[in-house]
A and B are shown apart, each in its own frame.
Chain A
Amino acid sequence: ETGVTQTPRHLVMGMTNKKSLKCEQHLGHNAMYWYKQSAKKPLELMFVYNFKEQTENNSVPSRFSPECPNSSHLFLHLHTLQPEDSALYLCASSQTTGGSEAFFGQGTRLTVV
Protein backbone atom coordinates (compact mmCIF):
# COMPACT_ATOMS: atom_id res chain seq x y z
CA GLU A 1 0.00 0.00 0.00
CA THR A 2 1.29 3.46 -0.84
CA GLY A 3 0.67 7.01 0.29
CA VAL A 4 -0.95 8.08 3.54
CA THR A 5 -3.65 5.87 5.04
CA GLN A 6 -6.06 6.91 7.77
CA THR A 7 -8.37 4.71 9.80
CA PRO A 8 -11.20 4.70 10.49
CA ARG A 9 -12.76 6.73 7.67
CA HIS A 10 -15.82 7.51 9.78
CA LEU A 11 -16.25 7.62 13.56
CA VAL A 12 -19.22 8.47 15.74
CA MET A 13 -18.50 8.79 19.43
CA GLY A 14 -20.20 9.99 22.56
CA MET A 15 -18.75 12.74 24.68
CA THR A 16 -17.62 10.29 27.34
CA ASN A 17 -15.96 7.84 24.95
CA LYS A 18 -12.27 7.32 24.28
CA LYS A 19 -11.19 6.57 20.73
CA SER A 20 -8.09 6.83 18.60
CA LEU A 21 -7.42 7.86 15.02
CA LYS A 22 -4.60 6.16 13.18
CA CYS A 23 -2.40 7.40 10.36
CA GLU A 24 0.28 5.49 8.48
CA GLN A 25 2.55 6.74 5.74
CA HIS A 26 4.49 4.60 3.29
CA LEU A 27 6.47 7.42 1.70
CA GLY A 28 9.61 7.44 3.82
CA HIS A 29 8.85 10.92 5.15
CA ASN A 30 10.14 12.22 8.47
CA ALA A 31 7.48 14.80 9.26
CA MET A 32 3.84 14.07 10.07
CA TYR A 33 0.93 16.39 10.78
CA TRP A 34 -2.62 16.46 12.09
CA TYR A 35 -5.03 18.99 10.58
CA LYS A 36 -8.64 19.73 11.50
CA GLN A 37 -11.09 20.70 8.76
CA SER A 38 -14.37 22.19 9.94
CA ALA A 39 -17.13 23.56 7.77
CA LYS A 40 -16.72 27.23 6.88
CA LYS A 41 -13.22 27.40 8.42
CA PRO A 42 -9.70 27.17 7.01
CA LEU A 43 -7.77 24.01 7.67
CA GLU A 44 -6.21 24.23 11.11
CA LEU A 45 -2.81 22.75 11.83
CA MET A 46 -3.00 20.90 15.14
CA PHE A 47 0.28 19.05 15.66
CA VAL A 48 3.61 18.57 13.90
CA TYR A 49 6.07 15.75 14.45
CA ASN A 50 9.61 15.64 13.10
CA PHE A 51 11.58 12.42 13.45
CA LYS A 52 9.02 11.24 16.04
CA GLU A 53 9.39 14.36 18.18
CA GLN A 54 6.52 16.80 18.60
CA THR A 55 7.69 20.17 17.34
CA GLU A 56 4.42 22.05 17.28
CA ASN A 57 1.18 22.12 19.22
CA ASN A 58 -1.12 24.89 18.05
CA SER A 59 -2.89 25.46 21.37
CA VAL A 60 -4.90 22.30 20.94
CA PRO A 61 -7.10 21.30 23.91
CA SER A 62 -5.74 18.47 26.01
CA ARG A 63 -8.71 16.26 25.09
CA PHE A 64 -6.70 15.67 21.89
CA SER A 65 -3.54 13.70 22.59
CA PRO A 66 -1.15 12.83 19.75
CA GLU A 67 1.30 9.97 19.69
CA CYS A 68 4.07 9.24 17.20
CA PRO A 69 5.81 5.93 17.95
CA ASN A 70 7.91 6.08 14.78
CA SER A 71 8.25 8.17 11.64
CA SER A 72 5.64 6.08 9.80
CA HIS A 73 2.81 6.09 12.32
CA LEU A 74 0.81 8.83 13.96
CA PHE A 75 -2.14 8.55 16.32
CA LEU A 76 -4.64 11.02 17.69
CA HIS A 77 -6.19 9.88 20.96
CA LEU A 78 -9.56 11.40 21.72
CA HIS A 79 -11.37 11.64 25.06
CA THR A 80 -14.26 13.65 26.47
CA LEU A 81 -14.79 15.48 23.21
CA GLN A 82 -17.37 18.16 22.58
CA PRO A 83 -19.89 18.38 19.72
CA GLU A 84 -17.88 21.27 18.25
CA ASP A 85 -14.98 18.87 17.77
CA SER A 86 -16.95 17.18 14.99
CA ALA A 87 -14.90 17.67 11.83
CA LEU A 88 -12.76 15.97 9.22
CA TYR A 89 -9.35 15.14 10.69
CA LEU A 90 -6.60 14.96 8.13
CA CYS A 91 -3.19 13.43 8.52
CA ALA A 92 -0.31 14.47 6.27
CA SER A 93 3.37 13.74 5.85
CA SER A 94 6.29 15.40 4.12
CA GLN A 95 10.02 15.40 3.77
CA THR A 96 11.93 17.69 6.09
CA THR A 97 13.12 19.81 3.19
CA GLY A 98 11.96 23.32 2.42
CA GLY A 99 9.51 23.39 -0.46
CA SER A 100 8.49 19.76 -0.07
CA GLU A 101 4.78 19.25 -0.50
CA ALA A 102 2.63 17.56 2.10
CA PHE A 103 0.80 14.37 1.18
CA PHE A 104 -2.60 13.93 2.78
CA GLY A 105 -4.62 10.95 3.83
CA GLN A 106 -8.33 10.69 3.02
CA GLY A 107 -9.29 11.82 6.50
CA THR A 108 -11.47 10.59 9.33
CA ARG A 109 -14.95 12.10 9.51
CA LEU A 110 -15.60 12.45 13.24
CA THR A 111 -19.02 13.09 14.70
CA VAL A 112 -19.36 13.72 18.43
CA VAL A 113 -22.85 13.11 19.79
Chain B
Amino acid sequence: AQSVTQLGSHVSVSEGALVLLRCNYSSSVPPYLFWYVQYPNQGLQLLLKYTSAATLVKGINGFEAEFKKSETSFHLTKPSAHMSDAAEYFCAVSDSGEFGNEKLTFGTGTRLTIIP
Protein backbone atom coordinates (compact mmCIF):
# COMPACT_ATOMS: atom_id res chain seq x y z
CA ALA B 1 0.00 0.00 0.00
CA GLN B 2 1.18 3.48 -0.75
CA SER B 3 1.62 6.07 1.97
CA VAL B 4 3.03 9.52 2.62
CA THR B 5 4.59 10.97 5.73
CA GLN B 6 4.68 14.68 6.36
CA LEU B 7 7.27 15.65 8.94
CA GLY B 8 6.07 18.46 11.16
CA SER B 9 2.39 19.10 11.71
CA HIS B 10 3.13 22.80 12.26
CA VAL B 11 5.76 24.96 10.60
CA SER B 12 6.30 28.66 11.27
CA VAL B 13 8.45 30.89 9.10
CA SER B 14 8.99 34.63 8.95
CA GLU B 15 7.62 36.62 6.05
CA GLY B 16 10.24 36.63 3.31
CA ALA B 17 11.99 33.51 4.59
CA LEU B 18 12.35 30.16 2.86
CA VAL B 19 9.43 27.75 3.17
CA LEU B 20 10.29 24.04 3.34
CA LEU B 21 7.58 21.47 3.91
CA ARG B 22 8.71 17.86 3.99
CA CYS B 23 7.07 14.84 2.44
CA ASN B 24 8.33 11.28 2.15
CA TYR B 25 6.44 8.62 0.28
CA SER B 26 6.27 4.89 0.17
CA SER B 27 5.40 3.26 -3.10
CA SER B 28 6.15 -0.01 -4.82
CA VAL B 29 5.85 1.53 -8.28
CA PRO B 30 6.84 4.89 -9.73
CA PRO B 31 4.35 7.18 -8.08
CA TYR B 32 2.32 10.17 -9.00
CA LEU B 33 2.80 12.77 -6.27
CA PHE B 34 0.80 15.87 -5.47
CA TRP B 35 0.83 18.85 -3.16
CA TYR B 36 -2.47 20.44 -2.25
CA VAL B 37 -3.22 23.55 -0.18
CA GLN B 38 -6.29 24.11 1.97
CA TYR B 39 -7.34 27.53 3.24
CA PRO B 40 -9.73 27.76 6.21
CA ASN B 41 -13.22 26.50 5.44
CA GLN B 42 -12.25 25.64 1.89
CA GLY B 43 -11.63 22.52 -0.15
CA LEU B 44 -8.23 21.42 -1.39
CA GLN B 45 -6.54 23.20 -4.26
CA LEU B 46 -3.79 21.63 -6.34
CA LEU B 47 -0.40 23.35 -6.01
CA LEU B 48 1.62 21.03 -8.22
CA LYS B 49 2.02 17.44 -9.30
CA TYR B 50 4.80 15.05 -10.29
CA THR B 51 4.10 12.58 -13.07
CA SER B 52 7.66 11.58 -14.03
CA ALA B 53 8.15 14.21 -16.73
CA ALA B 54 10.66 16.26 -14.71
CA THR B 55 12.04 15.89 -11.21
CA LEU B 56 11.70 19.60 -10.40
CA VAL B 57 8.09 20.63 -10.59
CA LYS B 58 6.92 24.22 -10.53
CA GLY B 59 3.48 25.03 -9.24
CA ILE B 60 1.25 27.96 -8.52
CA ASN B 61 1.97 30.84 -6.14
CA GLY B 62 5.75 30.43 -6.50
CA PHE B 63 5.91 26.94 -4.99
CA GLU B 64 8.01 24.12 -6.35
CA ALA B 65 8.88 20.57 -5.35
CA GLU B 66 11.69 18.21 -6.21
CA PHE B 67 11.20 14.47 -6.65
CA LYS B 68 14.17 12.54 -5.24
CA LYS B 69 13.79 8.85 -5.82
CA SER B 70 16.89 7.92 -3.78
CA GLU B 71 15.42 9.69 -0.76
CA THR B 72 11.76 8.85 -1.55
CA SER B 73 11.03 12.50 -0.94
CA PHE B 74 8.95 15.21 -2.53
CA HIS B 75 9.57 18.30 -0.41
CA LEU B 76 7.74 21.55 -1.12
CA THR B 77 9.63 24.83 -1.15
CA LYS B 78 9.11 28.52 -1.76
CA PRO B 79 12.02 30.96 -1.68
CA SER B 80 10.18 33.79 0.04
CA ALA B 81 7.12 33.34 2.23
CA HIS B 82 4.16 35.66 1.94
CA MET B 83 1.43 36.23 4.49
CA SER B 84 -1.09 34.76 2.07
CA ASP B 85 0.76 31.41 2.17
CA ALA B 86 -0.64 30.68 5.64
CA ALA B 87 -2.71 27.53 5.16
CA GLU B 88 -2.61 23.77 5.55
CA TYR B 89 -0.59 21.80 3.03
CA PHE B 90 -1.14 18.19 2.10
CA CYS B 91 1.16 15.82 0.28
CA ALA B 92 -0.53 12.96 -1.57
CA VAL B 93 0.51 9.89 -3.50
CA SER B 94 -1.63 8.33 -6.15
CA ASP B 95 -2.42 4.70 -6.58
CA SER B 96 -3.88 4.72 -10.04
CA GLY B 97 -6.89 2.52 -9.69
CA GLU B 98 -8.07 -0.33 -11.85
CA PHE B 99 -10.14 2.10 -13.87
CA GLY B 100 -7.33 4.63 -14.20
CA ASN B 101 -8.82 7.03 -11.70
CA GLU B 102 -6.72 8.55 -8.98
CA LYS B 103 -7.01 7.08 -5.50
CA LEU B 104 -5.18 9.67 -3.52
CA THR B 105 -3.59 8.77 -0.20
CA PHE B 106 -2.95 11.91 1.82
CA GLY B 107 -0.48 12.79 4.51
CA THR B 108 -1.70 14.24 7.79
CA GLY B 109 -1.00 17.77 6.65
CA THR B 110 1.31 20.59 7.72
CA ARG B 111 -0.10 23.85 8.99
CA LEU B 112 2.06 26.74 7.81
CA THR B 113 2.08 29.93 9.86
CA ILE B 114 3.75 33.08 8.56
CA ILE B 115 5.23 35.43 11.14
CA PRO B 116 5.06 39.12 10.16
- Chain B residues with Cβ below 8 Å from A105 are 43
- Chain A residues with Cβ below 8 Å from B101 are 30-31, 48, 50, 55, 94-96, 100
Q: How many positions in chain B have a CB within 8 Å of any CB in the partner chain? A: 27
Compute how far the CA of A48 lies from the CA of B94 in the bound complex, rounded to whole angstroms: 14
A98: contacting residue among B32, B45, B90, CB under 8 A: B32
In this complex, which of B32, B45, B49, B100 has the most chain A Cβ atoms within 10 angstroms of its Cβ?
B100
Does B43 contact A42, Cβ atoms closer than 8 Å? no
Q: How many A-B residue pairs have CB under 8 A?
A: 75
- From 81 to 113 in chain A, residues with beta carbon under 8 angstroms from any chain B beta carbon are 90, 92, 94-107, 109
Does A48 contact B43, Cβ atoms closer than 8 Å? no
Does B94 contact A4, Cβ atoms closer than 8 Å? no
Does B99 contact A109, Cβ atoms closer than 8 Å? no
Compute how far the CA of A4 lies from the CA of B34 in the bound complex, rounded to whole angstroms: 19
Does A31 contact B41, Cβ atoms closer than 8 Å? no
Q: Which residues of A are interface residues toward B (Cβ below 8 A)?
A: 4, 6, 30-31, 41-43, 45, 48, 50-51, 55-56, 90, 92, 94-107, 109
